């Protein structure tokens, strides 16, 4: 039915699943032999050795594996791939920049109607020079 045991099921009752196919994700902690740590429950960790995976995994990579559960906390990989840890930093930076861009467009083209608690489109979009912290207008007093 496609309902393979994951980290949670293997972490709580590993021996029950021996011989069954599994699909799980973990962080590579050793490369010889290839070993991952998968988290389940409330921060509990499951340490598994992966055999039969023909890939170049590095410590810290995220490893997704589909394989067969074997004795001694070993998974015989049928299919596996890694995602380098640096990809996550890239993803977060790009997501942050996209969020700032969307927020800027929202502020520039919409305004808050406090009376109706709603957003209304601006008749003319704001310019960067219209925002008070960017403007160079200062009052000068004669001494």
Name 77's bridge partners: 67
**7-83 CATH pick, 3.40.1190.20, 2.40.50.140, 1.10.490.10, 2.40.320.10:** 2.40.50.140
Task: Please state, in angstroms and as integers, the Cα–Cα distance from residue 133 to each residue in 13, 97, 107, 108, 130, following that order.
Answer: 60, 21, 14, 14, 9
Q: How confident is the model at residue 39 (pLDDT cuts 50, 70, 90)?
A: very high
**What tens digit of pLDDT does each residue of 97-135 get?**
999 999 999 989 999 888 889 999 998 888 877 766 655
Q: For residue 3, what pLDDT is reported?
A: 82
What pTM was estimated for this model as a whole? Answer: 0.62
- So where are the chain's domains? 7-83, 86-130
Position 54 pLDDT exceeds 80: yes
| pLDDT average, residue stretch 58-85 | 93
Position 92 pLDDT exceeds 70: yes
| pLDDT average, residue stretch 29-56 | 92
Instruction: Report the alpha-carbon angle 81-86-89, nearest 5.
Output: 125
């Amino acid at each position: 039915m496609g309902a393979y045991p994951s980290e949670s099921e293997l972490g709580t009752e590993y021996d029950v699943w021996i011989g069954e196919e599994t699909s799980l994700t973990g962080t590579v902690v050793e490369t010889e032999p290839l070993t991952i740590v998968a988290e389940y429950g409330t921060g509990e960790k499951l340490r598994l050795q992966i055999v039969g995976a023909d890939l170049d995994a590095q410590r810290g990579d995220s490893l997704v594996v589909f394989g067969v559960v074997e004795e001694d906390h070993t998974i015989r990989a049928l299919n596996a791939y890694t995602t380098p840890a640096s990809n996550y930093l890239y993803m977060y930076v790009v997501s942050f920049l996209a969020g700032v861009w969307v927020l800027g467009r929202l502020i520039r083209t919409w305004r808050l109607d406090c009376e109706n608690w709603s957003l209304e489109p601006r008749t003319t979009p704001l310019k960067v020079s219209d925002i008070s912290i960017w403007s160079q207008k200062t009052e000068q007093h004669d001494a």
